[in-house]
Amino acid sequence: MEPKIAQKAPYIMDLKPGKYYWCSCGQSAAQPFCDGAHARLNTGMTPVEITLTEAKKVALCGCKRTGNPPYCDGSHTKL
């Protein structure tokens, strides 16, 4: 199963230190974060854990096609 494209642009966010789970399947209603949809829908995909030790601005992939999950690598420009 191919991941669903949540949006054709990155999610640019200022995140606080902590643990986050990036949705890799594209089905989460809480994009770009996981809400457990992958398990409910049996996508065969799992979220990617992000652990930040300090506040940071990040660009999380919205198209779910990045080669560097969970971060945007510009793959959305080829869709």
Task: Compute the CA torsion angle 27, 28, 32, 36 (nearest 10 deg).
Answer: -120
Distance of alpha carbon 33 from the chain centroid: 6
Give the mean model confidence (pLDDT) for residues 28-54. Answer: 97
pLDDT higher than threshold 90 for residue 61: yes
Res 58: pLDDT? 98
Does the model's pTM come out above 0.75?
A: yes
Res 1: pLDDT? 79
pLDDT higher than threshold 90 for residue 28: yes
